[in-house]
Structure 1
Amino acid sequence: MAIKFLFFPFTHMNKSQLKTVLAFFPACHYLSMNRDFKHDPSLQTLFETGKINPIFPLPEPLEKVEQNFGQYLAWARIHKGNKVNLKSLLKDSPYFTDDSDVTAITSQIKGEKSDKEDANADALTKEQSLLQDLLFLKMAHLCDEQNEGIDLALNDLIIGHDTLIASLRGCQSLVSHVKDKKTIARKDLGEMMPGQRIRAWARSLSAMGALEPQGGTPLFITTSEAVFGYLEASCKDLVNALDIHKIKVHENECENKNEWQHLFCTWLMRAVQGDGIRENDMPVVDDRCSLLGQVKLALFSGNGINKIFNCSDKQIPVCLIKLK
């Protein structure tokens, strides 16, 4: 059975997420809100080597989303920190009257609906719905990208401070240790609007035909405990297929990594298919690698979960992966 590993519900894959996903899986698919990877050489390299397989929106809807997105950013820059002018603008301006204006855009991003939107909800075309979802994902993409930049800047600042202190003390071994260690815990971005993220992501991929079984049965993978927890809380029927708190995985480009990943994916799919696997059956890393991870697999159904993922009368396999 061909399997398609779909990373969700994020459209920006930060370095931490990439490291985690590629530690467990040889490759993954994910929805990208960019046109290509020319802006990011590292992603371009992973794309060319087949490790990431992006799903890009079609040029026409993406162009419309980028136009609306640009309007919102321009509006936000002009009125940042000026609540008095903003209130006057929203009260007196006759220009913000259709679905392309920034008032409507802000409501779409926040998930709010005006009376006008409620009255016209049934008349929305599939194209309009897709544009709204893509716009939300574009804003979430920017937010995630900026949060990564802040985390990296803080990380560099802390490492620089600790390295300086170690150097002043004349402890060179400590300097090397400081540069290698993790200095801050990154926030789980899935804590921010998990339901809206999941719905916008799933509806967008469904509208693009990317959730169809052609090309491989989808297995949804995430690095966000908040996203996984949201699905657990929202689901009527849930089967906990796996819950492994510590599993040894290969580090970097270890020579045994490819073989282990193949065995891991086979083992994981047996769990998805309900073959009654045991924890002792999981592939073992028996070399010097010391990196530990966590794997949790659940099969969701009911309470609208199938509708969200456009998979009627089927269990939805979702796998949570983390590195320790």
Structure 2
Amino acid sequence: MRILKWLVGGVLVVALVLGGAFIWGMQRVSRARAARVEALGPLLARATAVESLSPEEACLVVEGHYLKRATVLTAECRSVTLEPTRPGVVRFRGLVLADAWDDALLGGGYVPTLCLSKGPRGWEVAGFSHELLDCQFDAPTGPEPAKEALAQVERLRRAWMDDAFAAVREALTRPESDKEVCEGLPTLSKWDVLVLDADLLGDDLSVRMERTTRIGDVLGFQCLPAMKGQGLNLGPCAANRLISHVVAIDDIDEPPLKVAGSSYSGGRYAAVVKLVDVRSHQVLCQRKVSFQLPEELLLVKRQNLNFEYSKQVRAALHEGIEKLTGGKLTAEF
């Protein structure tokens, strides 16, 4: 019993010591933060006004930006890298931020990659690099550099998308390809390839909207004025990179799927899958894809027949695209 009391007493002593050390550490961090914020005032004023940033000045700009936030406990520069991307725009990395007490006390944290730009008020943080195309925008000229930089990037993404759409429209007017497999393709990233119904690019979408299977609706609602008229607007186009290829599902024949009693009509899908090279505006290869819903599915999946049919059509399209590209593209749609 005496040993147990000693053990309990020892644990309590250790807990009190650790708790006291933690509280002392929190106080130390808070005092150091307050002193740094006060010292930053004149340093930050000089750093934001310079014509060209040095790594040390860039660090002051970013440190001042983050220490305005009450949630940031510590901000410390380590191994700063500074890369100009446009006149008055640089990509910055090297500030270690801590917004959790364990990181603040132990010297840890996270390191964001940021875009800095020189505007009417001097140098400011415009946003995260991954949201601003690795800082590929012109220096803002208005009072809200972050909003202006993002608007520029959104316009650029939209222009890329419009160019890709225009390339597909032109390619589909040219003579058809006689190749069922595109040979010599590099491995294609899903981020560089769009997959969509070719009739999504037409002016009249009424017939398409009646079909059971439609590929590219989300993209269309984001990027096509004709689909925004449907009443749904998800904002700017989602493409983050320059699109290199488009898988266009063309010549689609799909009667509506209708269930009546113990039978159904429709359930048949046929199309031609074409791989379009956006840069050359041509169809590199194309392959027919078809699917027929088996009658026996009606008996076991009557309540979910539309879902099952659409799932199997998409599976057939996935297989067709994989064969078309010789396994170089595993598309997500």
Range into which the TM-score falls when normalised by the shorter chain: under 0.3
Greater share of residues in helix: 1
Structure exhibiting the larger radius of gyration computed from Cα positions: 2
Q: Which has the higher contact order (CA 8 A, sep 6+)?
A: 1
